[in-house]
């Protein structure tokens, strides 16, 4: 089956290409980039030199070509305008941006500042977290694949929600690749190396989708506040989701084990050991764990992911596999790389 990658010159686009190069079921036949249109892929991704002989095309050219599936790794706000025509041509779409993640159209006005042009598609779109929506993804035409902060938060929180937590504070720590491939003052190496600082710490956008999904799971309102922090890693996102409920660790263990039973990409840490981003880098794994402290009381769910894999490209391919009816882990079996 043929796949087009839209927005293929950024980091997430590069990861999609990296995965698909060795994927047994898909071929990348189109890769778009505004900046690199007409140029060979290796100019944007020198690590892929010799592995892919494709040239980047513009979005316009790409839309004139044929392919079976489209993966959209575009900046927020760019997918909403091309998705309808792709769907209209019978092309299955996995969108890695935020344009189709929220069910309530008014939230786009509030959090993104624009009116959603296709509220019907919001209803149809499936939130692309297979651990919550596997069956709907199987039947979907349009998957809205979540990003790293939301993925890590939801995976760490879901078993806590099942235990009754309704107010969740997600303290997230992320590496620099999360902000993309465009240089900025905050990502300038001398400034970013060794950094520990919060960003967007009041009303983080991605808490809206985390609340939506966890409320959906609880079948009642769940409030989530995300406080993200930049740290000096390149890859990795780690969520520590705190809730003021009293649950002992053996009960937590059972809740996590039950919730993620049979999941191919979720590994559960044993009591007293914790997830570590170093153990998932380069892979689609999410390592999850927990701790509890009777002194507030407080429980915490932890999730460690590779922000470009389970937090972006890997997760999108996982949904693509499910949509396309191939093995869910196809193309995603490469073990984590460690140490790196």
Q: Return all residues near 46 (Cβ < 8 A) that are at least 6 apart.
A: none
Per the residue annotation, which of 19, 148, 165, 239 is the catalytic one?
Answer: 148
What's the rounded Cα separation, in Å, for the pair 127 and 319?
Answer: 10
Site string for a copy of itself, 264-293 (x = CB under 8 A): ---x----x-xxxxxxxxxx-x-----xxx
Tell me how many degrees the CA angle 74-55-99 measures, rounded to the nearest 5.
10
Neighbours of 298 (CB within 10 A): 16
Please tell me the number of Cα atoms within 13 Å of 248 on its side-chain side: 1
For residues 155 and 303, is the Cβ–Cβ distance under 8 A?
A: yes
- In the bound state with a copy of itself, the residue whose beta carbon lies nearer, of 72 and 286, is 286
- In the bound state with a copy of itself, the residue whose beta carbon lies nearer, of 79 and 230, is 230
Can you spell out the DSSP letters for 16-63? HHHHHHT-SS-EEEEEB-TTTTTSBHHHH-GGGTTT---B-B-HHHHH
- In the bound state with a copy of itself, the residue whose beta carbon lies nearer, of 161 and 323, is 161
For residues 245 and 164, is the Cβ–Cβ distance under 8 A?
A: yes
Is 318 a binding residue for a copy of itself by CB under 8 A? The answer is: no
Give the residue from 122, 82, 76, 120 showing the smallest Cα distance to 97: 76
User: Which stretch in 28-36, 72-80, 86-94, 170-178 sits in contact with a copy of itself by CB under 8 A?
Assistant: 170-178
123: part of which helix (H) or strand (E)? helix 119-124
Is 171 a binding residue for a copy of itself by CB under 8 A? The answer is: yes
User: Which stretch in 27-35, 125-133, 157-165, 179-187 sits in contact with a copy of itself by CB under 8 A?
Assistant: 179-187
Site string for a copy of itself, 8-37 (x = CB under 8 A): ---x--x---x--xx---------------
For residues 99 and 76, is the Cβ–Cβ distance under 8 A?
A: yes
Q: Is 148 a catalytic residue?
A: yes
Site string for a copy of itself, 235-254 (x = CB under 8 A): xxxx-x-x-x----x-----
# of chain residues touching a copy of itself (CB under 8 A): 91
Is 339 a binding residue for a copy of itself by CB under 8 A? The answer is: yes
- In the bound state with a copy of itself, the residue whose beta carbon lies nearer, of 92 and 159, is 159
User: Which stretch in 79-87, 104-112, 121-129, 199-207 sits in contact with a copy of itself by CB under 8 A?
Assistant: 199-207
Q: Residue from 188, 250, 254, 258 that binds a copy of itself (CB under 8 A)? A: 188
- In the bound state with a copy of itself, the residue whose beta carbon lies nearer, of 42 and 87, is 42
Q: Report the sign of the C-alpha dihedral through residues 201, 252, 158, 92, in that order.
A: positive
Q: Residue from 164, 199, 254, 329 that binds a copy of itself (CB under 8 A)? A: 199
Q: Residue from 88, 113, 190, 262 that binds a copy of itself (CB under 8 A)? A: 190
CB neighbour class for 88 (10 Å; exposed up to 12, middle 13-18, buried from 19): exposed
Please list every residue from 108 through 137 that binds a copy of itself, using CB under 8 A.
none
Please list every residue from 46 through 85 that binds a copy of itself, using CB under 8 A.
46-51
243 Rama sector, left if φ>0, alpha if ψ -120 to 50, beta otherwise = beta
Is 207 a binding residue for a copy of itself by CB under 8 A? The answer is: yes
Catalytic residues: 148
């Amino acid at each position: 089956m043929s796949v087009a990658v839209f927005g293929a010159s950024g980091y997430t686009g590069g990861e999609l290409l990296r995965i698909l190069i060795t994927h047994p079921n898909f071929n990348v036949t189109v890769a778009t980039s505004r900046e690199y249109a007409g140029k060979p892929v290796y100019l944007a991704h020198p690590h892929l030199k010799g592995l892919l002989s494709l040239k980047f095309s513009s979005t316009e050219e790409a839309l004139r070509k044929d392919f079976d599936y489209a993966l959209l790794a575009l900046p927020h706000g760019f997918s909403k305008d091309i998705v309808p025509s792709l769907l209209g041509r019978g092309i299955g779409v996995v969108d890695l941006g935020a344009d189709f993640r929220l069910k309530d159209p008014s939230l786009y006005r509030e959090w993104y500042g624009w009116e959603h042009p296709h509220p019907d598609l919001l209803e149809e779109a499936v939130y692309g977290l297979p651990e919550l929506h596997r069956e709907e993804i199987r039947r979907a035409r349009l998957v809205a694949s979540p990003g790293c902060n939301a993925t890590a938060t939801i995976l760490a929180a879901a078993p806590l929600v099942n235990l009754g937590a309704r107010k969740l504070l997600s303290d997230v720590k992320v590496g620099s690749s999360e902000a993309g491939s465009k240089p900025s003052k905050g990502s300038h190496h001398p400034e970013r190396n060794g950094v520990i600082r919060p960003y967007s710490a009041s009303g983080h956008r991605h808490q809206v989708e985390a609340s939506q999904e966890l409320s959906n799971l609880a079948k009642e309102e769940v409030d989530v506040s995300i406080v993200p922090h930049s740290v000096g890693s390149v890859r990795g996102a780690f969520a520590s989701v705190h809730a003021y409920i009293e649950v002992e660790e053996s009960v937590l263990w059972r809740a996590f084990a039950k919730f993620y039973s049979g999941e191919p990409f979720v590994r559960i840490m044993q009591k007293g050991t914790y997830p570590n981003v170093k153990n998932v880098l380069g892979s689609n794994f999410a390592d999850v764990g927990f701790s509890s402290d009777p002194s507030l009381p407080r429980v915490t769910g932890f999730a460690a992911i590779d922000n470009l894999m389970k937090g972006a490209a890997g997760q999108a391919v996982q949904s693509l596999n499910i949509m396309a009816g191939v093995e869910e882990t196809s193309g995603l079996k490469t073990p984590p790389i460690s140490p790196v």
